[in-house]
């Protein structure tokens, strides 16, 4: 099996390492020269010559995703794996979905938190009715963008809204996984989205968004670039009890009316990426078409809608 990776930042490098369990024949397209990788090219023409590819991973900057995806479809791999978010804008996404369908290429956007064991445990608790009807859910995610990656934060795409920067797209996981947990689409209502710090960026560093569902569950989502100690947390209030989880705490705790139940869950961060690739290659091996492009398009549109609401 031959695999290609386009873009080689931290997530591209993680996928490269995990890909070694499936194939050693991996071609990396990157302009970086500081890498210890067996097979690299630095331009599209040379990457194309390395084909045909069975799978291609798109892990470059968000604003390049759509154009890169269209190029990759032209190489006709069996499947394309794209890191989230699908794009920095919804323009062109319907056309992408149509061409993927026409060319019969599987296309998967990597929402790795759908493979994270603590959240899988939360989903199971919700599905088996332990919490009863869900009244509201509070989702929070934040990290200090200055210390997030090895490069100067002012030089990474997160700092530039034109390149898909800003907490809403960077933390799109936290808009995606509540819908996945509930098994219901979120309906965006309103948001406050601002740059409140002295960070040298032109993208938003704080967002507070409100969603509802068809069952009248209220979902509030906080996202920020400011937290000195990075954290993700979740609180769910239901008719039968309350659930709490945090990334730093690890355990999932359910507070029922008569008891408190705490379950330790394996929080190994890389294992969710391993599980994600296992799922992806399992589908590729089956040979049946699969895609979550509609789900990924929905998230981008929700963010666009909320940003318009915030400007009113």
Q: Nearest-CA neighbor of 158 among 225, 206, 207?
A: 225
Under CATH, which number does the domain 113-259 receive?
A: 3.30.360.10
Domain 3-110+273-291 identical in fold to domain 113-259: no
pLDDT digits (tens, 9 = 90+) for 238-292: 999 999 999 887 899 999 877 898 988 888 889 999 999 999 999 999 998 999 9
Q: Where are the domains of the chain?
A: 3-110+273-291, 113-259
pTM of the complete model beyond 0.75 = yes
For the stretch 289-294, contacts whose Cβ atoms lie closer than 8 Å and that sit 24 or more positions apart, written own/partner, are 289/104, 289/105, 289/106, 290/79, 290/106, 290/108, 291/97, 291/100, 291/106, 291/107, 291/108, 292/107, 292/108, 292/109, 292/111, 293/86, 293/93, 293/96, 293/97, 293/100, 293/107, 293/109, 294/97
Which residues, listed in sequence order, are joined to residue 193 by a DSSP beta bridge?
207
pLDDT digits (tens, 9 = 90+) for 112-156: 999 999 999 999 999 999 999 999 999 999 999 998 877 888 888
Q: Is 8 exposed, middle or buried (0-12, 13-18, 19+ CB in 10 A)?
A: buried
pLDDT digits (tens, 9 = 90+) for 91-116: 999 999 999 999 999 999 999 999 99
For the domain made up of 3-110+273-291, give the CATH fold.
Rossmann fold (3.40.50)
DSSP state of 85: P
């Amino acid at each position: 099996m031959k695999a290609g990776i386009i873009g080689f930042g931290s997530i591209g490098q993680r996928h490269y390492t995990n890909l070694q369990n499936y194939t050693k024949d991996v071609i990396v397209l990157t302009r970086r020269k500081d890498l210890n990788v067996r097979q690299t090219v630095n331009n599209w023409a040379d990457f194309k010559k390395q084909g045909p590819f069975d799978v291609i991973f798109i892990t470059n900057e968000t604003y390049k995703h759509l154009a890169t995806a269209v190029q990759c479809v032209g190489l006709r791999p069996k499947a394309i794996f794209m890191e989230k978010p699908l794009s920095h804008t919804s323009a062109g996404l319907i056309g992408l979905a149509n061409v993927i369908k026409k060319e019969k290429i599987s296309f998967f956007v990597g929402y790795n938190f759908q493979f994270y064991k603590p959240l899988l445990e939360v989903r199971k608790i919700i599905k088996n009715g332990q919490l009863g009807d869900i009244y509201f859910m509070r989702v929070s995610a934040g990290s200090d963008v200055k210390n997030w990656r090895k490069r100067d934060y002012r030089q990474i795409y997160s700092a530039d809204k034109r390149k898909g920067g800003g907490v809403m797209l960077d933390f799109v996981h936290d808009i995606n996984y509540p819908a996945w947990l509930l098994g219901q689409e979120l309906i965006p209502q309103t948001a406050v989205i601002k740059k409140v710090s002295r960070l040298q960026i032109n993208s938003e560093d704080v967002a507070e968004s409100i969603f509802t569902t068809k069952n009248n569950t209220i979902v509030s989502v906080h996202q920020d670039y400011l937290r000195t100690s990075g954290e993700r947390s979740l609180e769910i209030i239901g008719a039968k009890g309350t659930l709490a989880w945090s990334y730093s705490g690890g355990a999932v705790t359910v507070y029922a009316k008569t008891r408190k139940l705490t379950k330790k869950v394996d929080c190994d961060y890389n294992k969710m990426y391993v599980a994600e690739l296992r799922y992806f290659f399992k589908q590729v091996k089956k040979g049946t078409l699969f895609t979550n492009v509609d789900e990924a398009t929905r998230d981008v549109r929700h963010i666009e809608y909320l940003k318009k609401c915030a400007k009113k």
